[in-house]
Chain A
Amino acid sequence: MSIIETKVLTKTYGRIQAVRGIDLNIEKGEIFGLLGPNGAGKTTTIGMLCTIIRPTSGSASIAGYDIVKNPASVRRKVGIVFQDPTLDTVLTGYENLKLHALLYGVPANLREKRIREMLELVDLADRCNDLTRTYSGGMRRRLELARGLLHRPAALFLDEPTLGLDPQTRTRIWDYIKKMAQKEQTTVVLTTHYMEEAERVCDRVGIIDHGRIIALDAPDNLKELMGGDLVVIRAQEPPAKKIKALPYVKEVKLDKDAIEITMKDAHLHLPELLSIIPDVECVEIRVPTLSDVFIRLTGRDIREDSAEDSGSWIDSVARYRQRGN
């Protein structure tokens, strides 16, 4: 069953086409990643699905409600965690959740139980009576996740949930996202430009570039586009023909002093491969990542595009700091 459906969803700002006709079907319970460089249209797409931005043309529905005709019902059905933190820092963690429960009309008899449940899920029960301005960046994000899921939305939208956090905290946040999605059986749609992280949590990803979805599949299937793993072997006289004849080898390229082999499941077949090459000096295996897929599809590195945005990343760190006191 599709929870989210979009048909040629489009948004233009004057002459700029931010989103150029996106068609998506996201299933119930799925963790779906929208990947792409900054400015690709990820945030605009999410904004339209959350009814914050009005689409120029096309349509979309969430849990059966049309985002243009019935925005109030859509809002009740979605949870949102914005790119920049939006906690009320003069309120405690508990009070932030209570405010949200009231605003989303969580029935009074369920309110307290639900708040406790969510606080425990993100391991913040012991800090819930402290002002959120005393929380670390990771704790704030966790509280925002709890807040996003408090009213049992059909879909939870996460816009760059790990932006501005240190690597260790990022890993933890992804663990929480996975755990919560599973426990609450919620559909999660997230955007990120950390490809490796998306690979680990998403059931399916859509790669978006210049407002268009240019690839859409499970991460493993997308990586198939790369033709397999790359094994680089340095040896005196590699028997290129013999290697090429192996059933799992797809491509062989001979360099001056090394041989580059594109093959399937290198981790399984490597022992056999090495047994037919005499005098191996060194071996390197490169398993393709989504970043490689992105380069293959767009001819660019996602990080090149992101580099120009480092200013705003520093901004968001500064904002965290600013709110800390």
Chain B
Amino acid sequence: MNGNRWQKELTGIYAVWWRELKVFQREKSRIVSSIVQPLMWLFLFGTGIGASVNISAVNYQDYIYPGVLTMSVLFGSVFFGLYIVWDRKLDVLKAVLVAPVSRISIFLGKVLGGCTDVMLQIIILFLFSFLFPSINPWGIPLAFLLLFITSIALVSMGLALGSLLESLEGFQVISSFLVFPLFFLSGALFPIDEKLPGWLVGLVKLNPLTYAVDGVRGALLNVNIFPFYIDLGVITFFAVIMFLLGSILFSRMK
């Protein structure tokens, strides 16, 4: 009986995950734009700024490559999570929520679905890594792991916010006051060194994404500020907190 129950919950998680993948497959234009946007950061922004900026041992484009990967995870994950506001508005979620599957399983299915979407995009971006000479391909599995944990944290955060929001108007607010600050304050585009003003260093160090960028940069370029175990520890802690918070808010959602 108990084993049967577990199996039903697992099937429920699989069902929600499977649905997200189907939706992902159908939204080809979204996939294309989610690949093209980071490539523009790398090749247009990176080449432009890189022409007049000199950072550490590697060229600027290589330097921001880990930052742009993290940015893709950030945008993809948070907006995936926030999308449930729309699902709720259209009652798509209603039929799922009355099924004999626990809320936590539905939440887990959603998180895994979002992470899968985002990591598929990351795999495509990894295919371009050969264009950046300083990238160490052997560091990719470790970078992938760090980004995957980051994605769990951020999809959970998006779902948590999506559970609280009543309408899509909150989208813009979250984008301006949460997502962009998280990105700009993560050291994705600039190094955190003595040239930065103190207040900025303080904010950057408070941002959990800083540790994701640092860890991925360490894995791919061997350029990092914090020891690897700190990076891994901070983002894992961040993921656990966000997952718990998200599952609580999602369970209470009406």
Q: Which residues of A line the B interface, CB within 8 A? A: 50-52, 72-73, 75-76, 80, 82, 84-91, 95, 99-100, 102-105, 147, 319, 322-323
Residue contacts A-B, CB under 8 angstroms, 23 given? A50-B98, A51-B98, A52-B98, A76-B100, A80-B95, A85-B91, A86-B92, A86-B95, A88-B92, A89-B92, A90-B26, A91-B22, A99-B15, A102-B14, A103-B15, A103-B16, A103-B96, A103-B101, A105-B11, A105-B12, A105-B100, A147-B95, A323-B90
Judge whether B8 and A95 touch: CB under 8 Å: no
Contact with A along B7-31 (1 / 0, CB 8 A): 1100110111011001100100000
Neighbouring A residues of B16 by C-beta, 8 Å: 103
Neighbouring A residues of B91 by C-beta, 8 Å: 82, 84-86
Judge whether B92 and A75 touch: CB under 8 Å: no
Nearest A-chain residue to B19, judged by Cβ: A99
Nearest A-chain residue to B5, judged by Cβ: A72
Q: Could you tell me which residues of chain B, from 65 to 120, have a CB within 8 Å of some CB in chain A? A: 90-92, 94-96, 98-101
Q: A103 and B26 in contact (CB under 8 A), knowing A86-B91, A86-B92, A86-B94?
A: no
Q: A105 and B8 in contact (CB under 8 A), knowing A76-B100, A89-B90, A91-B19?
A: yes
Report the minimum CB–CB distance from A304 to chain B (whole Å): 29
Neighbouring B residues of A319 by C-beta, 8 Å: 90
Judge whether A104 and B99 touch: CB under 8 Å: yes
A105 to B9, CA, bound (A): 9
Neighbouring B residues of A322 by C-beta, 8 Å: 90
Judge whether B99 and A88 touch: CB under 8 Å: no
A147 to B94, CA, bound (A): 14
A82 to B16, CA, bound (A): 20
Neighbouring B residues of A52 by C-beta, 8 Å: 98
Judge whether B90 and A104 touch: CB under 8 Å: no
Neighbouring B residues of A104 by C-beta, 8 Å: 99-100
Judge whether A99 and B18 touch: CB under 8 Å: yes
Report the minimum CB–CB distance from A319 to chain B (whole Å): 8
Judge whether A90 and B23 touch: CB under 8 Å: yes
Report the minimum CB–CB distance from A71 to chain B (whole Å): 9
Nearest B-chain residue to A144, judged by Cβ: B95
Task: Choose one: A72, A100, A323; the contact of B95 (CB below 8 Å).
Answer: A100
Neighbouring B residues of A82 by C-beta, 8 Å: 91, 94-95
Q: A103 and B94 in contact (CB under 8 A), knowing A76-B100, A90-B26, A91-B19?
A: no
Interface size class of B (residues with CB under 8 A): 20 to 34
Nearest A-chain residue to B97, judged by Cβ: A52
Knowing that A82-B94, A90-B22, A103-B100 touch, tell me 9 more A-B residue pairs with CB under 8 angstroms. A75-B98, A82-B95, A86-B92, A91-B23, A99-B18, A100-B99, A102-B14, A103-B101, A147-B95
Neighbouring A residues of B98 by C-beta, 8 Å: 50-52, 75, 80
Report the minimum CB–CB distance from A47 to chain B (whole Å): 10
Neighbouring B residues of A88 by C-beta, 8 Å: 19, 92, 95
A105 to B22, CA, bound (A): 20
Report the minimum CB–CB distance from B253 to chain A (whole Å): 13
Neighbouring A residues of B19 by C-beta, 8 Å: 88, 91, 95, 99
A17 to B240, CA, bound (A): 42
Nearest A-chain residue to B94, judged by Cβ: A86
Neighbouring B residues of A103 by C-beta, 8 Å: 11-12, 15-16, 96, 99-101
A52 to B98, CA, bound (A): 7
Neighbouring A residues of B22 by C-beta, 8 Å: 90-91, 95
Report the minimum CB–CB distance from A35 to chain B (whole Å): 24
Report the minimum CB–CB distance from A78 to chain B (whole Å): 9
A160 to B19, CA, bound (A): 28
Task: Choose one: A76, A80, A102, A147; the contact of B18 (CB below 8 Å).
Answer: A102
Interface centre among A52, A84, A99, A323 (most CB of B within 10 A): A99
Neighbouring A residues of B14 by C-beta, 8 Å: 102
What 7 A-B pairs come out closest when comparing CB atoms? Answer: A102-B15, A103-B99, A75-B100, A86-B95, A76-B100, A105-B8, A86-B91
Neighbouring B residues of A100 by C-beta, 8 Å: 95, 99
Neighbouring B residues of A90 by C-beta, 8 Å: 22-23, 26
Neighbouring A residues of B7 by C-beta, 8 Å: 105
Interface centre among B12, B15, B98 (most CB of A within 10 A): B98
Nearest B-chain residue to A102, judged by Cβ: B15
Neighbouring B residues of A91 by C-beta, 8 Å: 19, 22-23
A87 to B11, CA, bound (A): 20
Nearest B-chain residue to A147, judged by Cβ: B95
Neighbouring B residues of A85 by C-beta, 8 Å: 91
Neighbouring B residues of A50 by C-beta, 8 Å: 98
Q: Could you tell me which residues of chain B, from 1 to 55, have a CB within 8 Å of some CB in chain A? A: 7-8, 11-12, 14-16, 18-19, 22-23, 26
A76 to B94, CA, bound (A): 16
A100 to B94, CA, bound (A): 12
Report the minimum CB–CB distance from A219 to chain B (whole Å): 30
A85 to B12, CA, bound (A): 22
